[in-house]
Amino acid sequence: MAVNEHWMEVISPYDGSVVGRVPECTEDQVREAIRRASEAAPGMAAMPAYQRGAILNKAAQIIAGQVDDLGRLMARENGKPLKYSRAEALRAVDTFNFAADEARRLHGETIPLDASAAGVGKIGYFVRVPVGVIAAITPFNFPLNLSAHKIAPAIAAGCPVVMKPAPTTPMTVLRLAEILREAGLPDGAFEVVTGGADVGTWLTTDPRIAMISFTGSVPVARQITRTAGLRRVVLELGGNAATIIDEDANLDHAVSRNVIGSFSYSGQTCISVQRIYIHRSRYEEFRQKFLAAAEKLVVGDPLSDQTDIGPLINDGAADRIESWIAEAVGQGATVSLGGTRQGRLFQPTVLENVRPEMQLMCAEAFGPVVSLVPFDDFDDALAQADDSTFGLQAGVYTRDLNKAMRAVQRLNVGGVIINDVPTLRIDHMPYGGNKESGVGREGPRFAIEEMTTLKMVIINLGV
């Protein structure tokens, strides 16, 4: 990156210390990064599969050797407690290795053209070819693994990437760029441009960009799609995920998993559990066990191995959640646990007596707040869980196969998790949402499908 007079400080959301400084890119620098990526495109498209696979495996190996370091960097940069930030680094190892596997088996198909009289005497097949330069925009909450979910499949597909990380978490992505250079990725194949919304706009509106891969919030996604024109766009957006706990559920499992699902990384994940619907016959038992488990969570320094809940990303996020709790209480909700904060450190918070129209139920909380709701009828619980503008993932605890299959059929979400929380992503599965939770899917195999296009070949024999 060229020397720049404009620098941004990256500040720890926990203690306000300076984690680093990065350039605030100018429009010229963004254009220059896109130029370098465009120049790298033919080389990336021509790179043999074994080399793409080798670079991806090497990147995974380097990340595996730096799990602790990367974990600490993320804990400082975005306040994610060490136990979760190290886990994120380990997941990125998986993501790169899965993408390496996919690079080696990316292939087309033959088409039996003679199934039509018009095709007799012709051989037909298609291949997958890279779309070209990808603009990748990532959020603050998983700076390493969500960036990996864009750059790793792009390398597998043969596409260069210009990535704009969130302004709060650029350091991890710049480290990833170093790792990829060390792994042998050619110059220009991964460019990082740091800065805020302006940098994102310059990047996504440049005509040399073939595809936009965005992970973040709905309002920004709307802005991007307004100017995307005819380019391909993949959007991984927010949610207000629900778990349904039916009368025959394994309650201890449901309690421990929903505590993690609701409060890990302070609820700042797109599949954080925000609404729990519990069969009335088990409500009190679940409630007591859940409150007892949530109360034991340790809130504090993300760099401590003991910490379960670190700070929210900024004051605005803490203010918003505080005001949404106040609004819910004003409308009759009760706070059964937490509800208070010390600066950006928010206590794990549990609400009851909520109504569907409260913000904490119908909007994306993105904080350590969960609401408990009793239900009498399983199908009604399905309808309530599905009554959302979002549709990312849902969790359903039941041992009744018929009910489980009804849930799979009725819930309009990208993933239904039976007997576990919605907060579950294994990195090679198709992942993404319906409705306002997004368009398209990630997970290396599925992201590669989005990042490639089909080229049909017909050979007319006997000419």
Which residues does the annotation mark as catalytic?
236, 270
Q: Which is nearer to ligand NAD, 100 or 439 (CB)?
A: 439
Residue nearest to ligand NAD (CB): 200
DSSP class per residue in 99-118: HHHHHHT---EEE-GGGSGG
The one-letter amino acid code at 124 reads: G
Q: Which is nearer to ligand NAD, 204 or 347 (CB)?
A: 204
CA-wise closest residue to 134 among 104, 96, 98, 161: 161
- Residues 309, 313, 314, CA angle at the centre, nearest 5°? 125
DSSP 196: S
Q: Which is nearer to ligand NAD, 265 or 277 (CB)?
A: 265
Q: How far is the CB of 434 from ligand NAD (least distance, A)?
A: 11
Q: How far is the CB of 217 from ligand NAD (least distance, A)?
A: 3
Q: Which is nearer to ligand NAD, 237 or 245 (CB)?
A: 237
Q: How far is the CB of 423 from ligand NAD (least distance, A)?
A: 12
CA-wise closest residue to 97 among 59, 154, 71, 66: 59
Contact in structure between 166 and 115 (CB atoms under 8 Å): no
The CA distance from 265 to 271, in Å, is: 11
- Residues 277, 281, 284, CA angle at the centre, nearest 5°? 75
Q: Which is nearer to ligand NAD, 210 or 220 (CB)?
A: 220
Q: How far is the CB of 65 from ligand NAD (least distance, A)?
A: 26
Pinpoint the alpha helices (H) of 358-434: 359-362, 378-386, 401-410
Q: How far is the CB of 144 from ligand NAD (least distance, A)?
A: 12
Q: Which is nearer to ligand NAD, 114 or 315 (CB)?
A: 315
Backbone angles phi, psi at 395, to 5 degrees: -115, 140
Q: Which is nearer to ligand NAD, 13 or 139 (CB)?
A: 139
Pairing of strands 232-236, 161-164: unpaired
Question: What does the block give as tokens for 289?
Answer: 């066990």
The contacts of residue 87 (CB under 8 Å, 6+ apart) are: none
Q: Where does this chain bind ligand NAD (CB under 6 A)?
A: 137-142, 146, 164-167, 196-197, 200-201, 204, 215-217, 220, 223-224, 236-238, 270, 364, 366, 433, 438
Q: How far is the CB of 301 from ligand NAD (least distance, A)?
A: 22
Contact in structure between 348 and 263 (CB atoms under 8 Å): yes
Q: How far is the CB of 191 from ligand NAD (least distance, A)?
A: 15
The CA distance from 269 to 322, in Å, is: 18
Pairing of strands 190-192, 275-279: unpaired
The size of the chain, in residues, is: 463
Q: How far is the CB of 279 from ligand NAD (least distance, A)?
A: 28
Residue 435 burial by CB count (10 A; 0-12/13-18/19+): exposed, middle or buried? Answer: middle
3-state secondary structure of 248: coil
Q: Which is nearer to ligand NAD, 202 or 283 (CB)?
A: 202
**Strand pairing partners for 8?**
22
